[in-house]
Structure 1
């Protein structure tokens, strides 16, 4: 297990280095002069030269990339402005539009995105597993057919469409809920949950449909295996056979599926935040992209990439802990 862990951590570090090189090349080396974006129209040569020096753009590309990595690991001291030569506190760059550290901008928005994705993750996992289990145990019956209709509808409905429908039904026609306005969890837990119900449901509809289909297929395959027939032949109660033996085998692949779907979840969360006006990471990346704020977009891209890599690494380790055969490969 220790060798497997070290091997996974080593591949994680390699992936992170490659990711930083790709992000730096896309956002800083390939595009037009970033100093022009900072200075704006009507800049003279002296102003551009000053910005070039302050941003370190007058140095070789390898030196610029090294300062970029240094800023990610050691950080930059912003007490004297966005000067790449000062490194003291962790950072992800310096916004062209607001002159604020990118890390502070992300830190302000991160609790909103974590609240959205964490709550939706619990809902779609519980809902998807429960519906998939019921569908597999009642195959070809009315319950199974109704769940199949839900799966097809969930898979075929984009996030922004389901979100609009939920707003129309619960905020417009029924008037059970007001339009969501994010409230921090520490200030009002009840208000925090109430205002995130519709965003949670918006993400849950699609993801729970995926988990329902996977759980249904996994349960049918597991129930047809020899060890399940053997357990039943010993006379164990059906509830114990399903809960202790069949369900465990069917849920193991969902660990990897959760990691694979994490990238799609981030995209859907961005659409959901924009639709409901939640001040999260998704709304920040849309605003930064519209303003061509390269440091913020690059920092958010690195943050999202890091989240996906860590999610896949955590899934691999958890899968290895559940299935010991993975460690031996």
Structure 2
């Protein structure tokens, strides 16, 4: 069998064609969603186009720097003033995830598998933790793929087409010396985060470097649209290669249960964001994008396209990821111990 990895350029071409078509059609996040759908359909049709070497990492780094350019000093001060709201929203998201895990466990899925499958955190980290605890890693990986696919195909579209058209602001200038320097430092930060085994190193490391660099130097700058689009294209291609025919045939009954729970979680999150926004007099859609159990880059890019509070959405997504990542193992130990105690009690009463 030939080595398919050498044909990664085909993947890039397929993704670029899909992104171009989505951009022509006016679809939200065209270079992410168009590339994702094109590569996914190509693989499900039987053509196993391979993963682009280091494509996801490069794409995450570029998009993280593009988002970090929004974090000027005044904006960071505004985010700090809403820290209590951000933490409350993150805890609410965590509670919704735990409820979904408990329901999935009641439906017959082993507790550890259900927990690591439905926690809205980094998928590779959840697979790693599940493997250490003898959980079904194939199911965990599939559940996270469904989560990202569901949110990327629905949330940006509903947010975009359900919102009135916003007036596009003139883009900030591109300060090339600063941008090149920040990109280089972002790459070093990502390597450092990876060496220290921190979560999402290619997103959090570059984002932190860019936010600190822009905020501390009071810069007003942006990334050129073509470079940000290249990063989004690479991310879309990387997400698309997670799907193929075998994925669609993998435990359809279990995956359908995950899809039902995730859909309910997305709807409940939107309703909670609307209630919070109405009570606090804040734009509920910004809160909804910040609370969605999706991926920080894509939700932040959606907020940017709609003219919403990009920094608030990004801060909520980043803090959500960190809190859930930190709480995952303590929750597993606590809830697994509780389930083990309840099981013998139920057997004795029977």
Same fold, TM exceeding 0.5?
no
TM-score band by shorter chain is under 0.3
Which structure: larger Rg? 1
Return the TM-score normalized by structure 1. 0.26
Return the TM-score normalized by structure 2. 0.24
